[in-house]
């Protein structure tokens, strides 16, 4: 089971980073390369504990759907989303936000299991783990840009 851990320093307070990371509209903006859109569940605004969202996106040239649920939330420190239905056998994505100096260290921990048993393990080694790491890194980079440069006052307040 691959585990991808990515850390990003963001020059913004933890609550700003946290709220951007759990916002469905922001997620859509930060995943534009895969044309991700929310098609069911919470389709706009902030996700809360217990909420589900179904994403539709194009990965490897195939349009796919994936449903995730927020299973833990402690604003502004961490939240966890878990796949309920989708192409993976399973995944847990933990989002953590640590105050550091004038900013925040955002830590993404993506723990997943590929489908198809041994074939999935081969796919991980050949391309899937690298692909997923790139996806997480790109999204973190976009969140960083938004938090540091776009500081929307509406996103900085509790919904």
pLDDT for res 116 = 84
42-91: pLDDT as tens digits:
999 999 999 999 999 999 899 999 999 999 999 999 999 999 999 899 99
93-132: pLDDT as tens digits:
999 999 999 899 999 999 999 988 888 888 888 999 999 9
- Domain map (residue ranges) of the chain: 3-150
pLDDT for res 156 = 47
Residue 153 scores a pLDDT above 80:
no
- Dihedral, 92, 141, 39, 81 alpha carbons, nearest 10: 20
Cβ proximity of 147 and 12 under 8 Å: yes
CA–CA separation, 111 and 114 (whole Å): 10
Q: Residue 150's pLDDT band (boundaries 50, 70, 90)?
A: low
Q: Is domain 3-150 given the CATH code 3.30.530.20 in the classification?
A: yes
Residue 5 corresponds to which tokens in the numbers above? Answer: 């851990």
């Amino acid at each position: 089971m691959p585990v991808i851990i990515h850390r990003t320093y963001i020059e913004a307070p933890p609550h700003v980073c946290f709220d951007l990371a759990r916002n469905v509209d922001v997620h859509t903006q930060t995943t534009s390369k895969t044309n991700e859109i929310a098609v069911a569940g919470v389709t706009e605004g902030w996700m809360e504990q217990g909420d589900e969202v179904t994403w539709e996106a194009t990965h490897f040239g195939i349009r796919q759907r994936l449903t995730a649920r927020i299973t833990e939330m402690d604003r502004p420190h961490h939240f966890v989303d878990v796949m309920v239905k989708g192409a993976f056998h399973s995944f847990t994505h933990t989002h953590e936000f640590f105050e550091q100096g004038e900013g925040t260290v955002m830590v993404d921990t993506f723990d997943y299991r590929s489908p198809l048993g041994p074939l999935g393990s081969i796919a991980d080694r050949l391309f899937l783990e690298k692909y997923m790491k790139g996806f997480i890194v790109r999204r973190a980079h976009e969140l960083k840009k938004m938090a540091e440069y776009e500081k929307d006052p509406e996103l900085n307040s509790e919904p």
